[in-house]
């Protein structure tokens, strides 16, 4: 028997609803106004579920919110009950310096939650993540691996119920 790794959790996501449910479960683990900004990297191929997870997270916080992909705008800001959330998508960056040229580093200096798709495109200018969520295709569904990358991230991951996310999300054995 291997000791349980508390810095990582894997989930099988059977369909789009499962990905949204995992996002919704993440919505409740963040403090109201994290300082400095909470940073969550979202990684995976095109169509793997990054924006769908963000949609589930935001809609858990505000059921009537319309969530758009920031692919063309670089960032979509949201303020829900005083919590500032910023959804970034750096897919279209050709050079990491575009992050600085656009002044996006200012978002990470303030309180809030920064959800970052394609973080590798803005490296080395991004702050390190608290959580990293990697999506991969797994048969007809997806697999999400959530890794804590800071002490704050470990605390959040610990408060994320391993099996209580949804009936269509299955926690994979560690």
| CATH number of the domain to which 34 belongs | 3.40.50.300
166, part of any domain: yes
Q: Are 133 and 144 in contact (CB under 8 A)?
A: yes
2, part of any domain: no
Would you state the pLDDT for residue 5?
61
Mean pLDDT by 10 residues, the chain (174 residues): 68 92 89 78 90 92 77 84 90 94 92 93 94 91 94 89 50 48
CA gap 30, 25 in Å, rounded = 10
Q: Supply the range of the domain harboring residue 118.
A: 8-171
Would you state the pLDDT for residue 139?
83
Q: Give the burial string for 66-90 (b: 16+ CB within 10 Å, else e).
A: ebebbeeebbbebeeeebbbbbbbb
CA gap 143, 134 in Å, rounded = 8
Q: Please count the structural domains in the chain.
A: 1
> Under 8 Å CB-to-CB from 153, ≥6 apart: which residues?
7, 129, 130, 131, 147
1, part of any domain: no
CA gap 40, 14 in Å, rounded = 22
* Block residue for tokens 């670089």: 74
Question: What pTM did the predictor assign?
Answer: 0.86
């Amino acid at each position: 028997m291997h000791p349980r790794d508390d810095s990582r959790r894997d989930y099988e996501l059977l369909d789009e609803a499962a990905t949204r449910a995992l996002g919704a479960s993440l919505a409740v683990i963040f403090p109201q106004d994290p300082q400095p900004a909470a940073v969550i990297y979202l990684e995976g191929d095109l169509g793997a579920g990054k924006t769908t997870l963000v949609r589930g997270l935001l809609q858990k916080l505000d059921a009537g919110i319309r969530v758009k992909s920031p692919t063309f705008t670089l960032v979509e800001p949201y303020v829900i009950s005083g919590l500032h959330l910023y959804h970034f998508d750096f897919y279209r960056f050709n050079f990491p310096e575009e992050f600085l040229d656009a002044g996006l580093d200012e978002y990470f200096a303030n309180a809030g939650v920064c959800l970052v798709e394609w973080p590798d495109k803005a490296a080395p200018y991004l702050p390190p993540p608290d959580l990293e969520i990697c999506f991969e295709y797994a048969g007809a569904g997806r697999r999400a691996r959530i890794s804590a990358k800071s002490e704050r991230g470990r605390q959040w991951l610990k408060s994320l119920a391993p099996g209580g996310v949804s009936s269509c999300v299955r926690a994979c054995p560690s």
